[in-house]
Amino acid sequence: TLASEGLVLDRMGFIGLWKVVVVKNLPYSDMRRVGKIPKLLPHRLFPSARYSIWLDSKLRLQFDPLLILEYFLWRKGYEYAISNHYDRHCVWEEVSQNKKLNKYNHTIIDEQFAFYQADGLKRFNASDPNKLLPSNVPEGSFIIRAHTPMSNLFSCLWFNEVERFTPRDQLSFAYTYQKLRRENPGKPFHLNMFKVNKSMEFNHP
């Protein structure tokens, strides 16, 4: 926690350059879903912000945020960047792993997965030269966004799936992305899916 690291809020609510924002009147009793609000909807929480960076609690930011935006977005014209899973790349594998580890109610996971398959979710094929992404399963601990119309639309659609089925957002990422691309063929969405490696300037505490 911040307190355990000797970091305390000043009287204006800042820690150094950072202002801590406390979100009240939480809409869910399930804290797993509550956590998806800042993760997936930063453009709704901070409507005047042009960019956002999400780090989950196991990571620490150790680099200038502007350099992160430059490296992951601006350098190649991306509007959304997310880390892929270090081990799994297919939603079929992710479903099995979630059930094996009892991450959520098995019946609801099965209903979600059956719905996605019926609505066009494609199995990941690493050898397919026309695959949309290098992986269909995000790691999700590190997300960088430009708050563009397509980026915001994707974020809202992804959140809708988290609300409709399970808060296991890795299960709904590929379905949301594939459907967005399928239903908006004339509107490009520039997404950068990258591997997390030790050379990056953020790490585990």
Measured CA to CA, the distance from residue 20 to residue 198 in angstroms comes to 28
Question: Letter for the amino acid at 30?
Answer: D
Tokens coding 185: 């063929």
Neighbours of 115 (CB within 10 A): 14
Confidence at 197, pLDDT banded by 50, 70, 90 = low
Domain limits, the chain: 31-203
pLDDT of residue 6: 78
Model pTM? 0.90
Could you please report the per-residue DSSP string of the chain?
A: -TGGGT----TTSEETTEEP----S-S-S-HHHHTHHHHH-HHHHSTT-SEEEEE-TT-EE-S-HHHHHHHHTGGGT-SEEEEEPSS---HHHHHHHHHHTT-S-HHHHHHHHHHHHHTTPPPP-TT-TT-SSS-SSEEEEEEEEE--HHHHHHHHHHHHHHHHS-S-HHHHHHHHHHHHHHH-TTS---EEEE---TTSSEE--
pLDDT of residue 106: 98
Q: What is the mean pLDDT of residues 141-165?
A: 98
Cross-strand pairs, 150: none
State percent of the chain over pLDDT 90.
79
Measured CA to CA, the distance from residue 41 to residue 34 in angstroms comes to 11
- Which of 30-34, 43-47, 191-195, 200-204 has the least mean pLDDT? 200-204
Q: What is the pLDDT of residues 2-45, one digit of tens each?
A: 667 778 889 998 988 888 888 888 999 999 999 999 999 999 99
Question: Letter for the amino acid at 64?
Answer: D
Q: What is the pLDDT of residues 86-120, one digit of tens each?
A: 899 999 999 999 999 999 999 999 999 999 999 99
Question: How high is the mean pLDDT of the chain?
Answer: 92
Q: What is the mean pLDDT of residues 45-67?
A: 92
